[in-house]
Amino acid sequence: MIVDIKQKTKFSVQSIQQSIRVNFNYEVYFTNNILNLKNPTLAQAIAADDEKKPKKVVALVDAGLLEFWPDLLWQLTNYTKFYAEVLTLAVEPMLVPGGEAAKNEPKLLEKIHQLIETAGLCRHSYVLGIGGGAVLDLVGYAAATAHRGVRLIRIPTTVLAQNDSGIGVKNGINAFGKKNFLGTFAPPYAVINDSAFLTTLCDRDWRSGIAEAVKVALIKDTNFFDFIHHHTTDLAQRDMDSMQQMIYHCAQLHLEHIATSGDPFEMGSSRPLDFGHWAAHKLEQLTDYKLRHGEAVAIGIALDTTYSYLLKMLSHSEWQLILKTLVELGFKLYVPEITKQSSPENLPCLFQGLNEFREHLGGELTLTLLQKIGKGIEIHEVDLSLYKQAISLLRESEKQQQMLVTINRGER
């Protein structure tokens, strides 16, 4: 039955239509050794606001960096003294635990807010976040919610953060067992990618960020996927030139999408840049975050690619090429948690991620699948029995691909 609301009420209503347009502009810089005194990039980014007096800065640093960069805090302090006419450290830098732990501890957010308050920052001051994507998510959320927004400068230190999470407009922390349940859309003031930080990454963190490049290539750019496919050996063996090319182009595609998609703050239910992420977010939780985000994304990409193939949208050769590329990059495409059963539904717990993804997006399930390499397509309904088949097929396909990679390496 259709209810005519106007007939049900006798109240007259007046309204004023409000429309607001806001332009956001921020630079993403690519440099090396950001805290070298001869490198003015950070100081110039802050000086760009044209205000003459030195700006107060609060620095939040990923604690894991000190293992490989023990002089980092000294370098930061020395840099601010050298460029004292532009910026000044308002308080001693604060260390933040790296990895997903940063987003799972609510007290950390409170401590950062307390630090910002103690330092006496205003909305024209700066919060400087140095670290991986999880640390930047937390720091960005704290900066966006203090004074309703303190200027944020991100210095991402991982591949994943430099080509994806650290360059966008989203910030957040985990809550209620759900990924990024609390968060904001708040563009940074600037992002500075320093390639020097990549040299000390472990192999897992080096590799993890490549998954986001594969993702955006598959849904947007065939030529970029070809580049990744033809440079799998170079990327897997830590060739810096190939990695820097990959990071730059991946960042470019992400930024173009944010600027031109018409929905940078995700007011609708469409989120093509999260191809493979519904499963990835749930797998991170199911593995107690033992999986890196990029590792989970690689599995999510492989699963949704396999589902696309079973729906006859993607050819067999393209499906195999995608799986082959992921395996050659060093990714596993299957973990036991992917088939962990829930009760009483007797379905994989993974499928709970579909509903959580729907809630997170705004009420309508919207997934991106592949029509072909370089072109994504959105769907709003899924066949769970076919997804179960995709899981089984993926498990067998990964065994075959791993075997082929081992044989090829032996021949070389």
DSSP state letters, 116-161: HHHHT--TTSEEEEEE-HHHHHHHHHHHHHGGG--EEEEEE-SHHI
The DSSP bridge pattern shows strands 87-89 and 55-62 to be parallel
pLDDT, mean of each 10-residue run, the chain (412 residues):
59 85 89 97 88 90 96 97 95 93 91 96 96 95 96 97 91 88 93 97 95 95 97 96 97 87 57 83 92 95 97 96 96 92 74 82 82 93 93 88 72 57
The CATH T-level fold of domain 207-411 is Dehydroquinate synthase-like, alpha domain (1.20.1090)
The percent helix, strand, coil of the chain (3-state, each to 5) is 50, 15, 30
Q: In this structure, are residues 164 and 133 in contact, taking their beta carbons and an 8 Å threshold?
A: yes
What pLDDT is recorded for position 166? 92
In terms of phi and psi (left: phi > 0; alpha: psi -120 to 50; beta: otherwise), the region of 336 is: alpha
CA 328/CA 30 separation, integer angstroms:
27
What pLDDT is recorded for position 410? 62
Nearest-10 crossing angle of helices 203-220, 293-310: 30
pTM > 0.85:
yes
Fold agreement (27-200, 207-411): no
What pLDDT is recorded for position 366? 85
> What three-state secondary structure class fits 255?
helix
| Span 27-200 CATH architecture | 3-Layer(aba) Sandwich (3.40)
How far from each other are the two terminal CA atoms of the chain, in whole angstroms?
Answer: 70
CA 106/CA 255 separation, integer angstroms:
30
What pLDDT is recorded for position 321? 96
Amino acid type, 345: E
For the chain, the domains span 27-200, 207-411
Report how far Cα 98 is from the mean position of its chain's Cα atoms: 15
